[in-house]
Amino acid sequence: MSNDRMPVDGPYRIYVDATPTGATLDVTAFVRAVVLNLASAADEDGESLLDDLVEIAELERSAGAQGPDSHAAHERDERVERLLQEVAGDAKLPVYGGQVARLAGSLARIAAPRPVPGQRGAA
């Protein structure tokens, strides 16, 4: 596999693809690890995890009704951050050494202006 498409191969693979309007970063490997950590947390103490998720959902509904600067929104954000810390390490993907340059290079190539295919002239 080309380093252009997969500039980061660990600890979580990151794939980069051009789109018509920019790029996509495929972080499936990281999301898979988060799901596995959630499954492990559910196996260890499923009731507590479910309670946390239900409370977050209730706070989300309340925040939707009260607005983004409400107590419910702030409480929801704090609870989500705590859960992310437990299962996703703050949801930050580490990129090391030469992989930083490869990721930057892949994105720079995608961001570079591309020629627009010529239109066919009228016959």
Residue 20 has pLDDT above 70, yes or no: yes
* Percent of the chain surpassing pLDDT 90: 84
The domain limits of the chain are 1-27+93-112, 44-92
Work out the average pLDDT over 27-48: 97
Please say whether the beta carbons of 84 and 91 come within 8 A: yes
Q: How many other CB atoms are found less than 10 A from the CB of residue 102?
A: 19
Q: Which of 90-94, 99-103, 118-122 has the highest mean pLDDT?
A: 99-103
d(CA 88, CA 86) in angstroms, rounded, equals 6
- Confidence class for position 2, pLDDT limits 50, 70, 90: low
State the pTM of this model: 0.81
Please say whether the beta carbons of 122 and 114 come within 8 A: no
Contact partners, residue 107, CB within 8 Å, separation at least 6? 16, 23
d(CA 82, CA 62) in angstroms, rounded, equals 19
pLDDT at 114: 74
